[in-house]
Amino acid sequence: MRFTIIGFGFLLLGLSFFGSGALLAQFGPAETADIPLDYYLPEGYRYDPNVPRPEEILGFQVGEWHADYGQALRYLEALAASSERAELRVIGQTHEKRPQVVLFISSPENIRKLDSLQSSRKEFRNPNASIPYADTPLVLAAGYSVHGNEASALNASLLSAYFFTAAEEVLPDLAGTIWMIDPSMNPDGSNRFATWVNSHRSYTLNGDPQQRELSEAWPGGRGNHYWFDLNRDWMLVQQPESQHRVRHFQAWLPTVFLDYHEMGKNSTYFFQPGIPSRDHPLIPKENMVLTEKIARYHAEELDAIGSLYYSRESFDEYFFGYGSTYPDIQGSIGILFEQASSRGHLQESSYGPLSFAFTIRNQFRTSLSTFRAVVDMREELHRYQHRFYREALQEAEADTDKAYIFGQKEDPARAHALAKMIQQHAIDVYQLNEDITVNSVSFEQEKAYIVPLNQPQYRLIKAFFEVRNTFTDSLFYDVSAWTMPMSFHVDHMALSSRIVNLANVSLLEDSPLCASGASMRPRIQSHTVSNGMPTMRHG
């Protein structure tokens, strides 16, 4: 039979298979101890001999053992020390005091001026900025293994780091691209899982799903130190890993963000778009069009290595707490990847033996396909990102709601916590300096806050505050409702332009966690009746 996947309005042709189900085995190397680096790398590239290969630092080949976070960190440090294309930066610490890092890879010229390039990113949120789209480096960010026991992603990040640092032929394209690699968005969980799997790996691999290597003990490596699922924390930013990552996101505003995961062993490989009827209405339709266009590159790459894949049949673009949807509400293109998991080094599946090396290769090769896509689509993606914020401000102007107010008299700490949470997303929040009553609800000074809507983050603000209870599709992958003031149980309401004299307010100062993002947005200087906003007297 011929394996065919239909999606995006075009055909994605997989492999031809004949005979028994055994022929559907997702074959990797016969034994993971014998993996050559060439198994992963694409053909036709020359590599700088001064850049160390992964096995030279790890002491084993990628896929032979599970690299723990410390080993991954040492390899990225070695890459940064060996090449002018790479720079490793620490963006924070986890609960267990492991450094959170991002490896920047670009042309040597771009690496030397990273700080000025970062500063220029704020222009995408300025509707009046004149941006040379074709000549501006595109920021491509990849977040691997937010769930620590989805380890193919962390190990694939080492291959991505090596390839883009060492491959001679990609250097011209790096002049127009800044690669940001976060090797593990959950260092503590990744270390916990690698320790388990390596401790129970036998030298003769055993793919029986019931064997100890594949039966990770509770709580496992999925969550962080406190077992928190960091892939539900992008919006809530309650954990330090998320706070540091969101601060970095707001400082750099990546044009495309890749979110690498694993799923059940009896699947193949998924990449977005997800189920079309489950896209959030606040995400522009053009986002989906661009995601589909990038997906063609993934299909081509996976066809070339004979891997099965699918799209549009799972997952959705709804809850903005995921790593793949948080970018979508801010002008970026977030892309989810899901690889069938070997969990350990080998696992029997419905398609036959599923090796760790095979899962790593798929994750790595879609990093390559995304790079090819953004090189070809750089100007188109930049235009979309800038237009996103221009149109957001236009929508804010047309919105009959002009601000949101919220507060809590009996327990003001709840309102303050919500204000600081919102603030971390590069959103201006104002504190009341006097008591006011709005529609018979009293809000007290220093216990209530106002968030104007005429900000670049208009769509994200709406997502935080709106009550949405009608849906095109009544099924959801995970979360369908998250109205923040209800979650924090505070008094709240929308304010219209009919309210002329709202209150004496002052800008809530940024905390250190918000500082990077805060500098990315223009300050609101004043509001007058003439521009349709409530008057806000700044104290």
Q: Are strands 256-263 and 138-144 parallel, antiparallel or unpaired?
A: parallel
pLDDT tens digits, 386-415: 999 999 999 999 999 999 999 999 999 999
pLDDT at 264 over 80: yes
CA gap 103, 114 in Å, rounded: 12
| 364 lies in the same domain as 436 | no
Specify if 14 maps to a domain. no
Least confident stretch, 33-42, 383-392, 492-501, 522-531: 522-531
**Residue that terminates a domain, selected from 355, 372, 393:** 393
Percent residues over pLDDT 90 in the chain: 77
pLDDT tens digits, 48-82: 999 999 999 999 999 999 999 999 999 999 999 99
Model's pTM, two decimal places? Answer: 0.89
| 61 lies in the same domain as 187 | yes
**Residue that terminates a domain, selected from 393, 421, 445:** 393
Among 503, 400, 512, residue whose Cα is nearest residue 444: 503
Specify if 13 maps to a domain. no
**Residue that terminates a domain, selected from 393, 428, 450:** 393
CA gap 142, 173 in Å, rounded: 17
Give me the domain span that covers residue 432.
Answer: 400-538
What number of other Cβ atoms are within 10 A of residue 194's Cβ?
25
| 419 lies in the same domain as 379 | no
| 122 lies in the same domain as 80 | yes
Specify if 56 maps to a domain. yes
pLDDT at 502 over 70: no
| 204 lies in the same domain as 262 | yes
| 352 lies in the same domain as 452 | no
| 56 lies in the same domain as 108 | yes
| 387 lies in the same domain as 447 | no
CA gap 297, 374 in Å, rounded: 10
Q: How many domains does the chain have?
A: 2
| 470 lies in the same domain as 340 | no
Specify if 17 maps to a domain. no
Specify if 117 maps to a domain. yes
| 112 lies in the same domain as 184 | yes
Specify if 500 maps to a domain. yes
Please give, one letter per residue, the 3-state secondary structure of 350-403. Answer: CCEEEEHHHHHHHHHHHHHHHHHHHHHHHHHHHHHHHHHHHHHHHHHHHCCEEE
Least confident stretch, 26-30, 164-168, 464-468: 26-30
